[in-house]
């Protein structure tokens, strides 16, 4: 266990017992503990395998390549329709974690083997995501914005496309595009 990560387990009082149990399970599988994205992240040979995170209604293990796991118990959850690769195991009590300990270990061990195998997941191309017409109009109007958008990483491009598309009203989509145009021109992602 990495002492630099200890604070995470004490700051989440509501889920402290549950996430400490998940921590013990993941470390017992031979994974190294690191702090990434503000959460405990467990790695094998510097490759991300699983992450512990908490939400209001549950705590979870997030498997970075969860889509490649066999999931014989059908307990892996895709958080949203836009998540392509990661999958979660969700827990609402310590008793649930204790009861499923051997299953959780089996999923972690499979995730380690998947990572060791080097298997890659084919992601949807940015061009396959919906391009809101309000954003396309702005790109057509400002060639510098189009150039800056194309220079962003595919993940940042997808982030903007998803965010702009989520708005139900054209007025909201236009407002979002206006708000983030400068950020795109500065080469930054949605959350940078």
Main-chain phi, psi angles of 62, to 5 degrees: -105, 115
Lowest pLDDT segment from 25-29, 63-67, 162-166, 181-185:
162-166
Give me the sheet containing 59-63, strands edge to edge: 32-36, 39-44, 47-54, 59-63, 87-91
CATH of 3-117, one of 1.20.1630.10, 3.90.1150.200, 3.40.50.980, 3.40.50.460: 3.90.1150.200
**pLDDT category, 50, cuts 50, 70, 90?**
very high
Q: What is the pLDDT of residues 137-152, one digit of tens each?
A: 999 999 999 999 999 9
- What are the structural domain ranges in the chain? 3-117, 126-185
Task: Answer whether 41's CB lies under 8 Å from 48's CB.
Answer: yes
Does residue 132 carry a pLDDT above 90? yes
Q: Which contacts (CB < 8 Å, 24+ apart) does range 137-141 have?
A: 138/177, 138/178, 138/181
What pLDDT, on a 0 to 100 scale, did the predictor assign at position 181? 96
Distance CA 30, CA 61 (A): 16
What pLDDT, on a 0 to 100 scale, did the predictor assign at position 73? 92
Question: For 118, left (φ over 0), alpha (ψ -120 to 50), or beta?
Answer: left
What pTM, to 2 d.p., does this model score?
A: 0.75
């Amino acid at each position: 266990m990495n002492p630099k990560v200890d604070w995470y387990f004490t700051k989440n009082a509501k889920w402290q017992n549950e996430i400490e149990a998940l921590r013990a399970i993941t470390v017992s599988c031979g994974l190294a503990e690191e702090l990434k994205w503000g959460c405990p992240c467990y790695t094998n040979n510097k490759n991300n395998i699983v992450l512990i995170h908490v939400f209001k209604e549950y705590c979870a293990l997030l498997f970075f390549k969860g889509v490649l796991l066999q999931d014989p118990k059908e307990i892996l959850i895709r958080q949203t329709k836009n998540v392509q690769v990661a999958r979660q195991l969700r827990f609402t009590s310590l008793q649930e974690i204790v009861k499923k300990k051997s299953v959780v270990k089996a999923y972690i061990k499979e995730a380690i083997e998947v990572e060791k195998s080097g298997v890659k997941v084919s992601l949807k191309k940015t061009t396959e995501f919906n391009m809101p017409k309000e954003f396309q109009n702005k790109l057509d109007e400002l060639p510098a914005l189009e150039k800056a958008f194309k220079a962003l990483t595919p993940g940042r491009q997808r982030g903007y496309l998803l965010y702009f598309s989520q708005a139900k009203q054209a007025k909201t989509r236009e407002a979002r595009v206006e708000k983030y145009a400068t950020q795109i021109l500065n080469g930054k992602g949605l959350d940078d």
